[in-house]
Structure 1
Amino acid sequence: MPPKGGRQANLRACLICSLLQTPKEFVDYGCPNCEDVCDMRGSMERVVDCTSTIYDGMIAMMEPEESWVARWQRINKKRRGLYAVRVTGRPPQDVVDAIEARGGLYRPRDAVEEL
């Protein structure tokens, strides 16, 4: 769900899935989509490494499986919530390596790609 009391200036975007949360929420709960590779829970340093304050636009996603916008953004398999349209920055190499070790492909969130 969208962060409680969060204003845009206080939000950070996950560099893997573009979920928007407050820094405290990332520290307290991690990223509900990417915690297995980002490991942000309990570490402000890791939150700073795996999230960005530089992002464009917001998407409030309520029905991920049914949303053409979610498909376009490649977040249709993610949890409901508030997402950035584009996020500037790259995650640490160990996160990219963890994604690839699981058979995934890291896609930067700072460019719009064609489907």
Structure 2
Amino acid sequence: MSFYVPPSQQRTLRACMVCSLVQLHSKFMREGCPNCDNVLNFRGNNDAIQEGTSQVFEGLITLRDPATSWVARWQRLDSYVPGTYAVKVTGSVGYTCPQWLVGCRGMFGPANVIFWMVQLPDEFIARLEDSGVKYIPRDGSSGEEES
């Protein structure tokens, strides 16, 4: 398994706004997100990829064995698949977002307009967790007090 990305393709890297996995746009298109594609349906859906991933992220962590990695536990990535993850993901989901969220088990009606900065609505987070995906904000607002 190789996570190498040639320099000529690095500008097409995107981070999933739910789990922070970083991979090429073409890989999201071809394979979806291995952590949360059962909910987000990125595979073959360019609009969903554009709305549910971001090109703006900071720091990279490459995990080979998330279950035993102290870095994975520290970043709360230990339940995710091996791969490269962003430490912080920044992005805003635009007006077209409800169209692809409708595919996520009919959660939102077409009249809803939702904006957020990586922080997802509570109902959507509940749907993710019901599907076995643990959502952890990657925008620096972890909800935990800094010590």
Q: Aligned AA for 1:107?
A: I
State the SS of the aligned residue for 2:67: helix
Higher relative contact order (CA 8 A, sep 6+): 1
**Residues 105 and 78 of structure 1: is their aligned pair in 2 closer, same or farther, counting only changes over 3 Å?**
closer
Rounded to whole Å, the distance in 1 between the matches of 2:83 and 2:134 is: 23
Q: What is the CA-CA distance between 1:98 and the residue it aligns to?
A: 4.4
- Structure 1 residues without counterparts, runs of 5 or longer: none
Aligned-residue sequence identity (percent) comes to: 38
The 4+ residue runs of structure 1 with deviation greater than 3 A are 3-8, 90-99, 103-107, 112-115
Structure with the largest fraction of helix: 1
Rg bigger for which structure?
2
- TM-score by length of structure 1 reads 0.83
- Structure 2 residues without counterparts, runs of 5 or longer: 105-119
Rounded to whole Å, the distance in 2 between the matches of 1:4 and 1:24 is: 12
Q: What is the CA-CA distance between 1:108 and the residue it aligns to?
A: 2.1
Does residue 1:35 correspond to 2:42, yes or no?
Answer: no
Matches within 5 A, 1:1-115: 1-2=2-3, 4-5=5-6, 7-89=9-91, 92=97, 94=101, 96=120, 97-101=123-127, 102=130, 106-111=135-140, 113=142, 114=144
Root-mean-square deviation (Å): 2.5
